[in-house]
Chain A
Amino acid sequence: MAVRVQSEPFDAAAEARALTAGRADVGAVVTFVGLCRDEGGTLAALELEHYPGMAEEEISRVVAEAQARWPLMGATAIHRYGKIAPGEDIVLVVTASAHRAAAFAAAEFLMDYLKTRAPFWKKEHRKDGTSGDWVAAKDADDAAADRWKA
């Protein structure tokens, strides 16, 4: 498993290839990339603040939970911080398994838990020059994470 928290961009395709390099038992790789939206053309950038140290540790705990729940052959999670422009990547999750069901489910679980547990906060910078608001957490994200309990 690989977990990274970084300001620089990542290469999603290279990360996915790395999970299958040198092996022939993987039957399914799911790659999810979360991007910065322009919010109807009003957003100049998002600024992502994080809790150094805890961010890596918490994502690692979430990945370990996914590995305990599904038969994964590999998992990678990368989350960026700092100023990110619309169209740029923010977060990457890659899961590898023998079959697609586990890879899809684990990727979705990872994203649902990353959104509600990884210590990152987004602040909006608007095109009209106003330093905008902190993005508010969504109840829908909590609900999405809660459905994995049971």
Chain B
Amino acid sequence: MKAVYFAWVRERVGATDEDIAPPAEVRTVGDLIGWLVSRGENYAYAFENAKAIRAAIDRKHVKHDALIAGAKEIAFFPPMTGG
């Protein structure tokens, strides 16, 4: 699956998007954040306040308990500030 990052999450991770292959025990968006954090300091910095991070699966907002099975694209971003 593809992970995409926006705004300061993108800056802290240091990438706009990447292909990821988390292990099977990573079942939810929250699990995926934990797995990403274990991959390096840049992820730990981006997700240091995990509760504040919003997520979308295939371009729809989801909560951290959403299951990621079958997802093509998972996005992580800060609370939105458009309008």
Contacts and interface: CB of A to CB of B under 8 A. Distances in A.
B56 A122 contact: no
Majority SS of interface residues in chain A? Answer: mixed
Given A49-B7, A54-B56, A134-B8, A121 B78 contact: yes
A96 interface: no
A111 B80 CA distance: 13
B80 A121 contact: yes
B5 to A, nearest CB: 10
Interface residues of A, number: 28
B39 interface: no
A113 to B, nearest CB: 9
A137 B7 contact: no
A53 B75 CA distance: 12
Number of chain B interface residues as a range: 10 to 19
A136 B7 CA distance: 11
A122 B8 contact: no
Interface of B: 4, 6-8, 56, 59-61, 75, 77-83
7 contacts: A48-B82, A49-B7, A51-B56, A54-B75, A115-B81, A117-B61, A119-B6
Interface of A: 34, 48-51, 53-54, 57-58, 79, 90-91, 111, 114-123, 134-137, 141
